[in-house]
Structure formats: structure tokens, C-alpha cells
Structure 1
Amino acid sequence: MLYDPDALDALGDEAIAGLAESWGGFCALTDALLCGRGDLHAGPELVPVVSALCARGLASLVRDHFLRSLEETFKQNAVEKFWQHFDGYCNASELQKVEFHDQENWPEEVLSKSLEETCLERGYQEKCLLILAHALESYEDSISEGRTKAKCYSSNLISRYQLMVSSLFLTTLPWSFPEVLRVYFKKKLEELNSMMSGDFIRSCSMDIDESYHERTFSGSNNLVKNIGKAVSELRSLGFTSMTEDAYASAIFSLLKRKVHDLAGDDYRNPVLESVKKWIQAVPLQFLHALLSYLGDSLDYDGGSSGLKSPLASQPSFFPGIGIPPEALVRWQLRLEYLAYETLQDLRISKLFEIIVDYPDSSPAIEDLKQCLEYTGQHSKLVDSFISSLRYRLLTAGASTNDILHQYVSTIKALRTIDPTGVFLEAVGEPIRDYLRGRKDTIKCIVTMLTDGSGGNAGGSGNTDDSLLEELNRDAENQGSMDYEDDVSTDEKQAWLNAERWEPDPVEADPLKGSRNRRKIDILGLMVSIIGSKDQLVNEYRVMLAEKLLNKSDYDIDSEIRTLELLKIHFGESSMQKCEIMLNDLIDSKRTNANIKASLAKPSLAGSEQEVADVSLGLLDTTIISANFWPPIQEESLVIPGSIDQLLSDYAKRFHEIKTPRKLLWKKNLGIVKLELQFEDRNMQFTVAPVHAAIIMQFQEQTCWTSKNLAAAIGIPVETLNRRISFWISKGIVTESGGAEVDDHIFSIVDNVSDTNKNSSTNENSEGFLMTEEEAESSVASVEEQLRKEMTVYEKFILGMLTNFGSMPLDRIHNTLKMFCVAEPSYDKSLQQLQAFLSGLISDEKLEMKDGLYYLKK
């Protein structure tokens, strides 16, 4: 019934007086009722007064006045008092707030007390509001037999009152109150987690069943009820969204912390399944109990929603719950996604360290793979890892060996995460570009190919990082293939590829081949760094020659195995010269044995025979086919006469057996095992021939000048000064100044001091290969060979630049290929030509500017 002002004007004085009396009585009863603090005796008296006012059309005025009175009373008695409980925290500084957080029962006690007081007041006012509704309903009953309007009065009043309560709290909300709620739920969930942590740890080693959760949660029901009670009361005050945000934030925070605790810096154990078990054991059980307490767990569609987690191959399993409600399934999806994303971000941030530890860190890689499959955030991995590579690996301070080992581990790890190789393309390109600028890249790659320790000095590397291990795997894979009919096999593979076809990920480079044609071949990627397999084969040939020339025996089994594996990968024709080099060692062993066997046959007479027999028995030779070996570094050397005679006798025996072939000695190559006798002890060394020649000169006299000693050995003084430093460093020879500035005096010591005992090589000497000055190779390097081979084209290049003024690299290359067809024809790669031109720039014959080569002015 609406208020009608025209009807009021029509009333007489007596009626108006009666109406004023009724209104005054209504206001007095309202004040008495609202201020009664639990005394509802004025309720029955309100019915006739409200009926009189409603009869005059003032029902809406009655309701509005009563609600305004409720609002003012609730604001004074409840809202202001409620916020006063939190004034200390809201007005505190950040440091003081931390002290609040550390208090054991804060904010539980404050929140519980404030909610209790407020809800009591709210409950009393709702009773008052129901009295008003009853009065309105009584009037409606007196004029109507139906109860439809009476029901509308009650629901409408309660709805307006709830809106009023929410408005009062939200309009006076301090900015720190949401933080109070977050702290409250955080502490409560931590308490719940600590109650269940012991049982959870035990359950990680077994399946979680329903009985387990019934036993576990039986002790936490009171805690969940207390939390549910607080949530229900906060909802009634209008804090529904804020409360859900608060306990959701607390759950998410606890979940993140749990992921970090389980994962940490341990990459050797998988953690994803443990995290998922914990989600089911703690947060989901808590949420199920909370939703059940609040009455929110029922599905209004009459059954299960049918939703299931996409993380599991089987339907979602909720131990102790049965068929899960839709709200709980949604919570599980949210929590599992957050767990996957948190673990993914944690592993991506530590991906550099994880790959350093690969393959021991394989469990962490598998976890990361599952996370990325669910979140799809592969681009985050690529961007983060490339950034880590640029700042931590691709720097001048990192050795080429370390970069290559990390690259190999990166290939293997990313091959696990993404078998298609799409993301490896993006991550590997900066590494390959950087390695192409390193001069020792080829040598390090070849070392990894031929060294089972992975190329690290001292053999301490991980064998899984060795490219030799990859060669072994390739050979095993080829050996295990089922060689059926080629056409049939190709058809089967084509059908399999067609059935498994999927489009490339959006991150794939459109200029690269489809992932069905993409093969992650570690050796192929290494060759792509070098530029061509010929360069790698040439470097391997040089390193093989160096290794064979410095062998003290004929044990080449590992070299033969490596060569066979390389032939499988690079082809037999490419490795033909290397095979001949190994055959030379095999032939040398047989020839050496035949010559020593012939010692029993009389070829010398008397005492000379005995001396020769003893000496030749200690001599092993390597006889090489020079045309198939890399160019050998020549160095003049005069060896002691007795040794020279020994070599002549050996050559004579060889000529007798291998007529008409003769030996041409390379006296600067090989190794010599010496035993030096001093007054206090004997010392053994394994050194180069030049070192042996130097020290043996001190048998004739104990003191030499540098010029005389160099003349006696037949080497330049500069070479002598560099090579004799080996004996000086061992404390065998001392150096002093001579009569001339550029002349030095070298003396042999009689007694080796104790301070040099640690530097001696009694067990196995620190050979010449271990010293810095002896890092000089006995074989010409690939760069030196290339420079020698390219010298014939130097005049042609200089002539081109004289005629054309300037030319880019590719034009010089194409011109040489076009016109240099006669012997020797030009067959070099673009990278080899660039290296040669760089040498001409170093010799100041050419200069380069803006990618163009000019003659040096």
C-alpha cells in the first residue's frame, strides 16, 4: 500500500491527531525495541500501531523509518565497535605490523571477538525486523485471506537489511582489513598443514585411500569448523568476495611454498607427483570440509558436473570424498594449474644449473616437460634460458670446452622437453653463433669426439658429454635396425608419419623445415657450427697424427674404434687418410718386432753386438707414410753420437728386412724416457728428443753457455732458451748471467734440493706435453696447412682487388671457383677463404671495411 498525500489532506483534525498519536507511538516503540538490547517486550504492542498507520496508507513510511533506525543503531552499536578492534593494526607502521604477525593468537582472537559481538547485534536486529514483518503481515491478514503479500514483506525487509549491513561495512572499510583476513587464513592453513604434514610424508610412499583421509581429518574437524564459522559470519556482514579472496590467497601462498620446499635445489628427484598428492591431502580436503560446512558443496544440477582434471589420464580422484561437486573440481583445476606454473617457473629460473647437472637432473627435466605440456608457456623457457646463456655462458671468461659441454647437455635436455627440436632451434642459435667466433672451437669439438672423458683435461669430464658416446649410440641404433625391404620400410614410415602429423608450434621458425623432417642430431649440429665436415675431418686428422706421434707404445685400439665410428657418420672416403695413418702404426709394430727378432742373427761382431742388442731392444719406432700424414714440423737437431749410431744400426736392419726401402729419421719427433742419477736419488722423466739432447750434453761437461750449447745441439739460441726452461723448472739445471748480455750460463746441479721433490716425476714424469713451451705441435695445424695450400691463390686475389678496387667475400669466392679450375683447382669453402683473408689482413696485405676487402694502402 502506497502513501497517498491527497487522502491525508482530506482528514479532519481529529483523524490527524489520532494519526500523529499512532506515529509517535510507533517511533517510541521502535526506539524501545532497538535499544532494548535483547528485550523484545515491546514487540506485541507494535502490531496495532503498525496496523493503524498502514490503514492510513503509511506502510512504506513505516518500513523506511524502521530501517533508518536500524541503520543508525547498527552503525553505532556494531560497525564502529567492529572497526575499533583493528585500529591498532590499521594505524601501525610496517615494522609494528610484523610484530602483530608474530603474535601467536593474532588476529584470531581479535577477529573472533569482533565477529561475535557484531553477529549478536545483527541477530537481535533481525529479530526486531521480523517483529515489524509480523506486524505488517497481521495487517495484511486482516484485509486479505491470502498470504502472498505477507511473504513478500518478510523477504523484502531481510533483503534490504542485508544490503544495508553490507553497505555500512564496505563504505567504512579500512584499507588494511583485507590484509588482516589474509593473515588469519594463512595462519589457520599453516596450522592445518602442520597437523597433517607427518601423515602426508608417510603417505607419499603409498597410495592415498579413503580410510587414510578419514583418520587424518578426524583431528582437524574442529579447526575447519572454526574457520567455516568465521567465513559464514564474514559472509553475513557482506565480506563474501573479500573472504574468498583471502582464503584463496592463503591457499595459493601455502601451495607455492610447498612447491618450493619439495623442489628446492634438488634436481635428482621428481616432485610433481608429490605436489599433486599434497594438493589432494590438504587444500582439497580443507575446501571440501569448508564448502560442506557452508552448504556450498551441493550441485544444483542434480549430480556430478562430469568435469575432470586434464592433468590426469583417469577421472579426478578425491580420496574420502567420492563423486566431487563441481566447485571442488574447479578448485582442483585452479590449484593444479598454479602448482604446475609455480614448479615450471622455479625450474626455468634454475634451468642453467639443471642442464649443467644433466643427466643426473633428468627428473627435474621430466617435471618441467609435464609442466610445459599443461601450461604451454614454452616461450617463457626460451626467453629466460637465452638470457641466462648470454650472461653466464657466452662470455669471454668461459672456456670453449665449457660452452660445448653445456651446449651438448642443452641439446639432450631440450630433446627430452621438446622432441621436435623447435625450441632447440631458438635456444641453440646464439650458442652456435658465438662458437663460430672462437678460434679453438673445431679443436675442442674434435677433442670431444676422440676423448671418452668429454674433452676435459685430466679426463674428469662426464662421459655422457662426450661426442664419442654419441657416435657409439648412433652405431648401436644403426646396428639394431630391422633391415627389411627398403620400399616397404619407407611406405610404413610414411604412413606412420601421416598418422602422427601435427602442425608446428606457433614458436617454430617458418623458414625451417617441418618437425616431421627435423632430426635432432648432435653431431650434425656440431658440424653446422664448423661449417663443413671436411674441416672437422682435417682437424681430427691433425690431432690423430699428434697423438700417434707421441705414443710410447702401439696400443691404438681406442683410435681404431673411434675411426670406425667416424666412418659410419662421415663416410669411408673422408676418413681414408686417417685409416692409413693407423695402419702405419700397425705395420710399425710388426716391423719393430721383426727387427728385434733379427737381433739374434749375427750381423755385428764381438762386443759391438752386445751393446747394439741392449740398445736396440729399448728402441721402438713409428714408420709413417709421409704422403698421407699432415705436414710434419721440421726442426734441426744434433743428437748424441751413441744415439745416432743406434738409429743408423736400426735403419740398417730395416733396410735388410724391407729392401729396397730406407728410413728417413725425423729426429725431433717422438718421446724419450730418461733416468737421471744424482748423489741423493734417481729421477725418471719422459721428455721430447730436444729435451733429452739438451740434458745429455751435460754428461760431457757440467757447465755450458747458451751459445755453445745451442751450437752443440744444432738449434737456435732462442729455441734453446725456451726448451731448457723445462729442466730449470724441475731444478735440474740452474741459470746465471754470462759475460755478454744475450749469453747465459747453464749448470747441472749435483744434489736436487728437497723443495723440488714434489716437482719430480718419479712415478711418471710430467712430460713435455704438460709444459707450456712444449704446447707447440709436431704437426702443422689446419690453419697452417690451409695457409700453405691457399698461397697459390694469393697473387690471383691481389690481382682481382687491384682491378676491381674492392670485393665482398662471396664474390671473391665465386670468382676463384669460376677461374681457378686448373691444377690445383680451387675447392675451398667460404669459411676457409675467410680465414685465409684474415691472415692476409694480419700480414697487412689487405684491409676490410663494411664487409669489403681492399688492398692495404
Structure 2
Amino acid sequence: MEFSSDEDIGSENNDFNFNAEHLFNYYVSTLLCTPPGMTKEEGESILLGSNTELISGRIAKYLHSLVDESPILILQRFNIMLDAMEYSVGYVKNLLPETRNTEKVLWKVFRASLKAFPCYKVLSSLVEKVLILSFQCRNKWKEEKLPIVGQMYENIYKMTIDFVRDFSNQNQLKMDSFISKVVTNSADDFLRMSNSHKKLNLLKINILGQLSRKFGPIFGWITELGLSNEVEVRDFYQLRGEYFLLTNVSDTIFDAIIAYPETGNDIKIMGKIMEKFGVEGRDMISKCIIESINRELLHVGVCTDVILKVYASCVESLKILDNTCVMMHRICKIIKDYIKKRPDTVRSIVNYLINDSSSDWHTKTQQNSGLIVDEEDMAQVNDEFLPSVEENTIRYWKQWKPDPPDAPPGDSRFYRQSSDLFNMLVSIYGSKELFVKEYRQLLSERLIEEEFADIVSEKRYLELMKRRFTDGELQNCEVMLKDIKDSRLTDIKLDEKNIVKFSTQVRVISKHFWPKIEYLTFKLPDIFKDATNKYKKSFEEFRASRTLTYYSSSGTVLLNVELNGVYIDMSVSIIQACILLSFTKTECSTVADVVDTLKLPRNIVKKGLEYWTSLGYLTPVEMNDDEGYALVKTQINSEKVRKMLCNQDQESDEEEANIDDGTIIDSLEQYWNYTRNLIANSNDGIKPERLLQLYKMFNSPSKRGPSLDHVVTLLQRKVKQNILSVENGVYFIVKESST
């Protein structure tokens, strides 16, 4: 076999047509650093490593020409290089038979040449291409359904495996550490290629199972490579696979939080994985959740009740994700700061806590008798050395970890980790006093307005509340429940005496313990007046030294209305019943007549008359230059009336909201002089957001206050009146033009 000199290869610029024999000769001449006719002195010089850099430079010169070649061609030429190395070792061994360990020393020289600077970088790049070819062929071989095509991929794959094993041969090159390094350096690329069609999704069951199925081909391939440090490589890939999980489920982690508790196990697994990557992992997940919250949750298109449900899910799930609760407080604060600006937040929170049966905070409250402490009250408390119950155990001390670096300095660890859903929801108010006030208001509405209020459930809920508050804070609520219970007993005893013509249920309340009740005083019809007087007299006999004061406009009446032979049962307000009863004495009346009879405001009377007109019992007539109404002469369509009553019940909430919107906007007119002066004195104009904060200061926390839409509507009204002008959302006073 003839050797090719370095000059011959150089003259062809390392870009000759592939010829295995030609390339083999080139490799041999490069490795031996001499054309045929090597002397013993030259052989000994090679064994001493004198030509290592020269060999490395010459090999690198040729390898650079392969950078743009296909992986399969690179693989073929690598195999020729290995054959040339094996031939060269045998050649020198035969040349120097008396020298000991010739093979071992020369393989060491070749290994050093490949790892030297000129060769190492390009060799790494080419080997990476071969490894990628290996992994891709393995996957296509496993997936290919056509036997012929599958056989082709299998053959190529086996060629790559043979190359890796020859390259890593412990009796020759021993380049297994080099192969391992290339495999680990390209870990992220291989992970992306592995089952790229399979997406990781926290909303699907068993995230670890998804991870195993996605990266199963990778670990099978690593095993088949036969690396000496396979365990270390697998551990590294396991870690990078978990990092891949963190970076690739970011678009579904917020959905998983919303779907809690169904996703609780996967969230717990994510927390353990996140902990392995320290601050980087925490910041990655936190940033993703915050971006999703700002994009999908915190905008006007999402109602307050939905935001509260997500807030509750964040509290529960983030405690599992991060048991230090640092992330929970940071993320929940963003939601809390936004939702505090909504006027219906206070009421929505109380309703959520009372009506939410899906949450387990009721059970946790039974287990936790700790009182609620405002965050401001804990600010001055040093609890750094205050151990909790679990901290007193030996197990805790063995597993103790400091707070994460992203924990706010001076943050109360005890307060942070003891917070649960109830505490976090109450903290939105800013103080527990405001929560108790709103709870008391809603409790009074339910007890008065509901015909059969569930006293047992309300009492059970109150007992849970007492575990979080002092007895004095909830004393009024206890009295309210006792009043309703006593009222029912009184109703039963007085009903047994049969002193009233019809069944009566009266809510006897202790005035000083209940929230202020708004009511109208008007003249009751005789049938109601007689009933209330008899009830009052019997009550005074039954409860000595106590009397009753009626809230005339509060309550409902169950009527059986008969008109033209048609009977219909319906539940209406007392005022509506009184208006209809006024037509029992005369078939037609003017609005003024009804106002004079009942001593009610005209707008309320008009609204009541329109109600009965909509049901078909009254019809408008003209009388004495005033609006008049008369009982209809035709037969009532009972099915139509019942359907209308049902629809009115379903639409009552929407109608009430619409009425409230108009009322709220009109109520802001009382602050117009103040608003006008404020805008006039501001050179830069005023934004609606600033006015909203000012208006909220004037509003009662227990009532629905103005929203940003209400303020904008008021300002736009003034723009139409040419009192204000608006530029880019900023409002200015329109200056009068000088004449």
C-alpha cells in the first residue's frame, strides 16, 4: 500500500473525490508524520510525543473540510481514520519489536493529538453530527412501518454505535469521556428531538408519566451507546429533562392552578423539580404565572367572582408548589392589589366564603383555632426565633432549610407560612373589622329576605368564624341569629292563638345589634294594619316590657289573586300588595289617588302600578288630566302571568344592577362642584382613575360603590354638556371664550 504525502493532500486542498484507499493512505502518512521508509529513530520520536501537535494540526486541517458534509459521509471517513490508526499502531510495533508497550503508548499519542487544540473543536462538532444521526436513525427505525426502509435506518444506526464503541475502546483510543462530553453538551438538543410531537401538559394526568414517555427514547439510546460513565450521563439528562419540563409547561401551569385540586399531585411534583433549580426555577415559574394572570385574569372582561375563585386556587395550589409560601404571597398580592379597586369585592368575598363548598377551608378551620392577625400588626413582631409546632420535632431540624433568597427582607416567616385561604381572602379587605362589618350586613339581608333562612347552617358557619375572631367581634351576629330563632318560636305560639286571619311570619330584631335597615313609612291598608296591631298586642303580652316597631316597607306577601274568575298565587312586596288592594274599593284610580291613600312617594306608586300593568291586572286610562289605571275587564291569561313572574325572578338581578348603575352615576353629581374645582386647579388635567379613588373615600364600604365605568360615564356626560373636554383620556375644564 502506498502512502500519500502531506504535500499531495495539500495540493488538492483537502477536497478530493472520496476514495477510501486514498484517504487511508493520507491518514497513515499524517499519523506517522513521514512518507514510507520510517526509521527506528523516527518511530521512537513519535512514541515520545514529539510530533503530537503536528499530527493534531494535520488531522484538523482535513477534518475542517468535512464540516459541511453529510453526517453519513463524516461517519464513513471517521471509520477510515480509526482503521488507519490501528494500522499505524501495528506498523510501529513491527518497526520497534524490542520496545515495550508500543501499542499503549502510540494510542496515547493519537488520543493526545485528537484532544489537542487544533483538532478538538472541529472533532467535537463532527462527532455531534454523527451522534445526532445515530439518535435520529434509531427513532426512525423504531417508527418506520416499511421493512426495507426500517432496515436501512437500522444499518446506519448500528454503524454509529460501532463507531462510538470503537472510539471509546478502552484498549485503544479511550475517547469515551470525549463522547460523553459531546453527549452532555448537546443534551438540550437531543431532548428537543425526542418525541417532538408529544407535548407536556400539566392538565393531563401524571406529568412524570408524560416526561418518561417523551424522553424514553433518549435513555434507551444512551444505554445502547455503552458509555463507561452511563450513570452520570443519565443523571445529567434526568436533570436537564426536568429543566426542559419547567421551561415547556409554562403555558399550562396557570391552567393547572385554575384546575386545582384535580392537578394537585402534578403541582406538588413541579414544586420538587422547581426546588432543584433554586432562584432560577422559582423566577421562571413566578414570571410565567404572573404574565398569565395579567393577560388572562386582571381585566374588565372577567367578573369579580371568577377572579376570587382563581385567587383561592392560587392560595391553595401555590402553597403546595412552594412550601415557603413566598411565591404565594408575591403572586396573590398582584391579584389582591387589582381586585381591591373593584367596588363589589367586599361583598363577593363574603359570599364566596359562605357559599363555597368546594374549598376545604371549613375543615381546616376546625383544625386550626388560631385567630386572624392583621399583617400590619405582625410587622413589629420579631418571630425569627419563634418555633412552630412542627419545628420542635427532630425530623424538622434535620430537614430545615433557610428562607429562599427571594423572600422579602424582614418578612414574617410565621405569618407567611401560617396563612391559609381564609386569612388570605380576609386580608384583601385590609382589616378584619371591615370583613366582619360586611359579613354582618350580608347576614342581616339573608335572615330578613329569605323566607326560610337556614339557621343551623348559619350557626355552624358562625362557629367556624369564631375560631378566627374574638367573641366580641361577632357578638352582633350571634344576637341576630338568636333573634330569628326566637322570632320563629314566637310565630308558632301566636299562631296557635289564631288571632290573625292569615299566617304571619315576623322577624323580631334587636335594633341596636342589627345593621341599619332602610325603610319607608306609609299608611297600611286596614287588613294589614289590623294584623300588625293584633300581633303587636299579643307580643307585648307574651314578652313583657317589650314592644314592636314595624318596618312597614320590608317583607313580602303571598297573595291569592282572583280577577274575573281566574286565581293565581304569587309572592309580591308589601308595597305592591297595598297598591293592588287599593283597587278593591274602586275599579279605577289616578296615580294621585293612590299616593294620597297610601302616603307613598309618586315614583314608587307609579312603579308599582306599572308592575301590575305588566302582569295584565291593570290597564292605563286617562282621568282628570292625570294618569289613571283601572282593573281589566277581560279574563287573565294565567299561563302568561306565571311565565312572566318566573322570568321576573330570573331577571331581577340584572334589572337591579342596571338600576344601581344609573343611581350610582346620578349620586356622583353631588360631588360635581368639588370635582369641577379639582379639575380646574390641575394644569395637567385629571384622569378618571384618580377621581375613582377620591369617590371611594366618600362611599360606604358595605354598599356598592362607583366603578371606573361609572366615573367615565359621568365625565362623558359633562363633555356632551360642553363643560369638560377630553384628550387621550385626560379631562380638562372647557374655558369660556373671551368676547
Output one character per residue of 1:466-499: Cα deviation in whole Å (capped at 9) or x when no partner: xxx52442113449xxxxxxxxx98995566766
Instruction: Specify which of 45, 54, 65 is matched with residue 168 of structure 1.
Output: 65
Shift in Å, 1:338: 2.8
Using the TM superposition, name which of 431-440 and 187-196 deviates more: 187-196
* Cα distance in 1, alignment partners of residues 56 and 388 from structure 2: 75
TM-score, length of structure 2 as denominator length: 0.67
Structure 1 residues 120 and 582: alpha-carbon distance in aligned structure 2, compared to 1, 3 A threshold: farther
User: Residue in 2 aligned with 1:122?
Assistant: 23
SS state of the match for residue 427, structure 1? Answer: helix
Matched, 1:363 2:265: yes
User: Residue in 1 aligned with 2:6?
Assistant: 67
5 Å matches for 1:128-167? 135-137=36-38, 140=39, 148-149=44-45, 162-167=59-64
User: Residue in 2 aligned with 1:283?
Assistant: 218
Structure 1 residues 161 and 639: alpha-carbon distance in aligned structure 2, compared to 1, 3 A threshold: same
User: Residue in 2 aligned with 1:853?
Assistant: none
CA contact (8 A) 1:414 1:423 kept: yes
Output one character per residue of 1:409-453: Cα deviation in whole Å (capped at 9) or x when no partner: 1111111111221112211222222233222222122212322xx
* Cα distance in 1, alignment partners of residues 653 and 435 from structure 2: 25
Output one character per residue of 1:507-540: Cα deviation in whole Å (capped at 9) or x when no partner: 0100312358742233323333212222211211
Shift in Å, 1:163: 3.2
Instruction: Specify which of 355, 358, 380 is matched with residue 464 of structure 1.
Output: 358
User: Residue in 1 aligned with 2:161?
Assistant: 228
User: Residue in 1 aligned with 2:578?
Assistant: 693
Matched, 1:583 2:482: yes
SS state of the match for residue 639, structure 1? Answer: coil
User: Residue in 2 aligned with 1:504?
Assistant: 403
Which residue identity lines up with residue 561 of structure 1 in the other structure?
A: R
Structure 1 residues 122 and 716: alpha-carbon distance in aligned structure 2, compared to 1, 3 A threshold: same
Structure 1 residues 689 and 225: alpha-carbon distance in aligned structure 2, compared to 1, 3 A threshold: same
Equivalences, count: 592
Shift in Å, 1:590: 1.3
User: Residue in 2 aligned with 1:820?
Assistant: none
User: Residue in 1 aligned with 2:16?
Assistant: 77
* Cα distance in 1, alignment partners of residues 432 and 463 from structure 2: 16
Output one character per residue of 1:796-829: Cα deviation in whole Å (capped at 9) or x when no partner: xx9xxxxxxxxxxxxxxxxxxxxxxxxxxxxxxx
* Cα distance in 1, alignment partners of residues 541 and 451 from structure 2: 25
Shift in Å, 1:718: 1.2
SS state of the match for residue 573, structure 1? Answer: helix
User: Residue in 2 aligned with 1:548?
Assistant: 447
CA contact (8 A) 2:137 2:153 kept: no
Shift in Å, 1:184: 5.0
* Cα distance in 1, alignment partners of residues 404 and 31 from structure 2: 64
* Cα distance in 2, alignment partners of residues 383 and 743 from structure 1: 64
Runs of 5+ unmatched residues, structure 2: 72-121, 371-386, 668-673, 675-694, 706-710, 712-739
Instruction: Specify which of 501, 506, 514 is matched with residue 413 of structure 2.
Output: 514
TM-score, length of structure 1 as denominator length: 0.59
User: Residue in 2 aligned with 1:433?
Assistant: 337
Structure 1 residues 588 and 147: alpha-carbon distance in aligned structure 2, compared to 1, 3 A threshold: closer
Output one character per residue of 1:73-106: Cα deviation in whole Å (capped at 9) or x when no partner: 583533xxxxxxxxxxxxxxxxxxxxxxxxxxxx
* Cα distance in 2, alignment partners of residues 342 and 241 from structure 1: 20
SS state of the match for residue 569, structure 1? Answer: coil
Matched, 1:646 2:531: yes
User: Residue in 1 aligned with 2:294?
Assistant: 390
Structure 1 residues 626 and 130: alpha-carbon distance in aligned structure 2, compared to 1, 3 A threshold: closer
User: Residue in 1 aligned with 2:192?
Assistant: 253
Cα RMSD between the aligned structures? 5.0
Shift in Å, 1:581: 1.2
Structure 1 residues 408 and 519: alpha-carbon distance in aligned structure 2, compared to 1, 3 A threshold: same
Shift in Å, 1:506: 0.7
Which residue identity lines up with residue 163 of structure 1 in the other structure?
A: A
CA contact (8 A) 2:563 2:635 kept: yes
Matched, 1:772 2:655: yes
Which residue identity lines up with residue 338 of structure 1 in the other structure?
A: R
Matched, 1:597 2:496: yes
CA contact (8 A) 1:400 1:440 kept: yes
Matched, 1:759 2:653: no
Structure 1 residues 282 and 643: alpha-carbon distance in aligned structure 2, compared to 1, 3 A threshold: same
CA contact (8 A) 1:686 1:768 kept: no
CA contact (8 A) 2:257 2:313 kept: yes
SS state of the match for residue 570, structure 2? Answer: strand
* Cα distance in 2, alignment partners of residues 833 and 472 from structure 1: 37
5 Å matches for 1:724-803? 724-727=609-612, 730=615, 733=618, 743=627, 745=629, 748=632, 750-752=635-637, 758-761=643-646, 766=649, 770=653, 772-773=655-656
* Cα distance in 2, alignment partners of residues 726 and 653 from structure 1: 35
CA contact (8 A) 2:250 2:288 kept: yes
Instruction: Specify which of 177, 188, 191 is matched with residue 140 of structure 2.
Output: 191
* Cα distance in 1, alignment partners of residues 455 and 185 from structure 2: 71
User: Residue in 1 aligned with 2:207?
Assistant: 271
* Cα distance in 1, alignment partners of residues 164 and 620 from structure 2: 90
Matched, 1:473 2:364: yes
Structure 1 residues 529 and 723: alpha-carbon distance in aligned structure 2, compared to 1, 3 A threshold: farther
Percent of residue pairs identical: 21
Shift in Å, 1:548: 1.0
Shift in Å, 1:583: 1.0
5 Å matches for 1:522-537? 522-537=421-436
CA contact (8 A) 1:251 1:283 kept: yes
CA contact (8 A) 2:621 2:627 kept: no
Shift in Å, 1:372: 0.6
SS state of the match for residue 686, structure 1? Answer: strand
Output one character per residue of 1:139-172: Cα deviation in whole Å (capped at 9) or x when no partner: x36xx7x963586799879766533421433499
Which residue identity lines up with residue 432 of structure 2 in the other structure?
A: K
5 Å matches for 1:183-222? 184=133, 187-192=136-141, 194=143, 222=155
User: Residue in 2 aligned with 1:826?
Assistant: none
CA contact (8 A) 2:566 2:635 kept: no
Which residue identity lines up with residue 70 of structure 1 in the other structure?
A: I
Output one character per residue of 1:287-320: Cα deviation in whole Å (capped at 9) or x when no partner: 232x33xxxx2xxxxxxxxxxxxxxxxxxxxxxx
* Cα distance in 1, alignment partners of residues 654 and 523 from structure 2: 22
CA contact (8 A) 1:588 1:623 kept: yes
Runs of 5+ unmatched residues, structure 1: 1-39, 47-62, 79-116, 197-216, 298-324, 455-462, 480-488, 600-611, 785-797, 799-830, 843-857
Which residue identity lines up with residue 191 of structure 1 in the other structure?
A: K
5 Å matches for 1:641-720? 641-677=526-562, 682-720=567-605
* Cα distance in 2, alignment partners of residues 773 and 707 from structure 1: 26
Which residue identity lines up with residue 566 of structure 1 in the other structure?
A: M
CA contact (8 A) 1:691 1:723 kept: yes
* Cα distance in 2, alignment partners of residues 557 and 776 from structure 1: 34
SS state of the match for residue 569, structure 2? Answer: strand
* Cα distance in 1, alignment partners of residues 195 and 618 from structure 2: 67
Structure 1 residues 352 and 768: alpha-carbon distance in aligned structure 2, compared to 1, 3 A threshold: closer
CA contact (8 A) 2:519 2:552 kept: no
Structure 1 residues 494 and 228: alpha-carbon distance in aligned structure 2, compared to 1, 3 A threshold: closer
* Cα distance in 2, alignment partners of residues 583 and 635 from structure 1: 26
